[in-house]
Structure 1
Amino acid sequence: MGQQEGHSNPHPDEAALPTTTAAPSPSPSPSPSPSSSRLYTAWLVASWYASNIGVLLLNKYLLSVYGFRFPLLLTACHMSACAVLSTLAQHASPRPRSSSSPRSHRQLARVALLGAVFCASVVAGNVSLRHLPVSFNQAVGATTPFFTALLAYAVAARREACATYAALVPVVAGVAIATGGEPSFHLFGFVMCVAATVGRALKTVLQGILLSSEEEKMDSMDLLRYMAPVAVLLLVPATLAMERDAFGVVAGLAREDPSFLWLLLCNSCLAYFVNLTNFLVTKHTSPLTLQVLGNAKGAVAVVVSILIFRNPVTVVGMLGYGVTVAGVVLYGEAKKRSK
Structure 2
Amino acid sequence: MAFCSTLAFLIVRVFKWVDSIGMSREAYTTSVVPIGALYALSLWFSNSAYIYLSVSFIQMLKALMPVAVYSIGVAMGKEGFSWEVMLNMTTVSVGVAIAATGELTLVVIGLVVQLCAIACEATRLVLVEFLLTKKGYSMNPITTLYYVAPCSFVFVFVPWFFIEFPKLWHMPSWSPDYFIFTTNAAVAFALNLAVFLLIGKTSALTMNIAGVVKDWMLIYFSWTQFHDPVTRVNIFGYGIAFLGVCYYNRLKFKKMKEKEEANSKSETTGSTADEERGLLLGSGSSAKEEEMIANHQANSAEEAARPQK
Equivalence for 1:327? 244
Change (3 A) 1:106 1:297: same
1:108 partner amino acid:
Y
Q: Residue 271 in 1 paired to residue 193 in 2? A: no
SS class of match (1:141):
helix
**Identity of paired residues, percent?**
26
SS class of match (1:167):
helix
Q: Residue 138 in 1 paired to residue 59 in 2? A: yes
Change (3 A) 1:319 1:188: same
Q: Structure 1 stretch 260-269 or stretch 305-314: which is displaced more?
A: 260-269
2:217 partner amino acid:
V
Question: d(CA) in 1 for partners of 2:238 and 2:47?
Answer: 20
Superposition map of 1:265-304 within 5 A: 265-278=182-195, 293-304=210-221
Question: d(CA) in 1 for partners of 2:188 and 2:65?
Answer: 20
For the aligned residue pairs, the C-alpha RMSD in angstroms reads: 3.0
Shift of 1:125: 0.6
Q: Which runs of 5+ in 2 are unaligned?
A: 257-309
Equivalence for 1:87? 9
2:23 equivalent among 89, 103, 112: 103
Question: Would the aligned equivalents of 1:107 and 1:216 in 2 still touch at CA under 8 Å?
Answer: no
Question: d(CA) in 2 for partners of 1:244 and 1:82?
Answer: 21
Question: d(CA) in 1 for partners of 2:142 and 2:88?
Answer: 31
Shift of 1:162: 2.2
Change (3 A) 1:288 1:142: closer
Q: Which runs of 5+ in 1 are unaligned?
A: 1-78
Shift of 1:290: 6.6
Q: Could you tell me the TM-score, scaled by structure 1's length?
A: 0.66
Question: d(CA) in 2 for partners of 1:337 and 1:160?
Answer: 16
Question: d(CA) in 2 for partners of 1:290 and 1:205?
Answer: 11
Q: Could you tell me the TM-score, scaled by structure 2's length?
A: 0.72
1:140 partner amino acid:
L
Question: d(CA) in 1 for partners of 2:227 and 2:67?
Answer: 30
Question: d(CA) in 2 for partners of 1:223 and 1:148?
Answer: 20
SS class of match (2:233):
helix
Equivalence for 2:46? 125
Question: d(CA) in 2 for partners of 1:290 and 1:208?
Answer: 11
Larger helix proportion of the pair: 2
When Rg is computed on C-alpha atoms for both structures, the one with the higher figure is 2
Q: Render the CA deviation track for 1:303-324: whole Å, top value 9, x for unaligned.
A: 1122221111101111212221
SS class of match (1:94):
coil
SS class of match (2:106):
coil
Shift of 1:101: 2.3
Question: d(CA) in 1 for partners of 2:192 and 2:78?
Answer: 29
Shift of 1:296: 1.9
Shift of 1:140: 1.1
Superposition map of 1:1-339 within 5 A: 79-90=1-12, 91-92=14-15, 94-95=17-18, 97=19, 100-109=20-29, 110-156=31-77, 158-213=79-134, 215-248=136-169, 252-254=173-175, 260-278=177-195, 293-339=210-256
Question: Would the aligned equivalents of 2:129 and 2:204 in 1 still touch at CA under 8 Å?
Answer: no
Question: d(CA) in 2 for partners of 1:246 and 1:264?
Answer: 19
Q: Render the CA deviation track for 1:122-173: whole Å, top value 9, x for unaligned.
A: 1111111121111111111121111112222223374332222222122101
Shift of 1:242: 2.1
Question: d(CA) in 1 for partners of 2:201 and 2:35?
Answer: 26
Question: d(CA) in 1 for partners of 2:87 and 2:116?
Answer: 23
Question: d(CA) in 2 for partners of 1:200 and 1:102?
Answer: 27
Question: d(CA) in 2 for partners of 1:287 and 1:144?
Answer: 10
Q: Structure 1 stretch 196-205 or stretch 276-285: which is displaced more?
A: 276-285
SS class of match (2:229):
coil
Shift of 1:235: 1.9
Q: Render the CA deviation track for 1:60-86: whole Å, top value 9, x for unaligned.
A: xxxxxxxxxxxxxxxxxxx11221223
Change (3 A) 1:142 1:215: same
Question: Would the aligned equivalents of 1:178 and 1:316 in 2 still touch at CA under 8 Å?
Answer: yes
Aligned pair count reads: 254
Q: Render the CA deviation track for 1:69-110: whole Å, top value 9, x for unaligned.
A: xxxxxxxxxx11221223334455634x1xx32421122111
Change (3 A) 1:280 1:250: farther
Shift of 1:207: 3.1
* Higher RCO (C-alpha under 8 Å, 6+ residues apart): 1
Question: d(CA) in 2 for partners of 1:211 and 1:250?
Answer: 43
Question: Would the aligned equivalents of 1:163 and 1:334 in 2 still touch at CA under 8 Å?
Answer: no
Question: Would the aligned equivalents of 2:69 and 2:205 in 1 still touch at CA under 8 Å?
Answer: no
